[in-house]
Amino acid sequence: MTQTDITRAINDLLFTPGLDLAEAIDRHFTPDYRQRTNGVWSDRADFTQHMTRLRSLVRSGHIEVHEELRDGPKYADRHTVTITLHGGRTSRTEVYLFAQLAPDGRFRRVEETTLLVDGHADDGNLGLVK
């Protein structure tokens, strides 16, 4: 299996609506996946619920990776996600991400901090919606 990265994962999760969400999650995240976003821990079931909700809100978008580093099972990046919601509102969020990859190349753990760069103040909470 090819190692995943944040661009492939986000594109499959949010910007490829024809791709089944369960397939997208299986492709990029291990069964024991855990994530901490802005200090809040989620397990894979919570993450799936979060992605389901985001898919219902997001019409389109793209990701821009500014920096990306790998060192064996360690992965880190700084990226910006731009999204347009179904209502037409657009926002940009900068993300600082540190992760552990499993031997098969999927994310096992992600810890991230998000910063709303541009958009409505309510969009600052999109990283935690369920």
- pLDDT tens, per residue, the chain with 130 residues: 678 999 999 999 999 989 999 999 999 999 999 999 999 999 999 999 999 999 999 999 999 999 999 999 999 999 999 999 998 999 999 999 999 999 999 999 999 999 999 987 777 777 666 6
Q: Which two tokens stand for residue 71?
A: 């060192």
pLDDT value of residue 130: 61
- In this prediction, residue 74 carries a pLDDT of 97
pLDDT at 128: 62
pLDDT of residue 120: 75
- Residue 77 to residues 57, 65, 86, 105, 114, Cα–Cα distance (Å): 25, 7, 28, 16, 12
pTM: 0.91
Q: Residue 30's closest CA among 104, 97, 108, 99?
A: 108
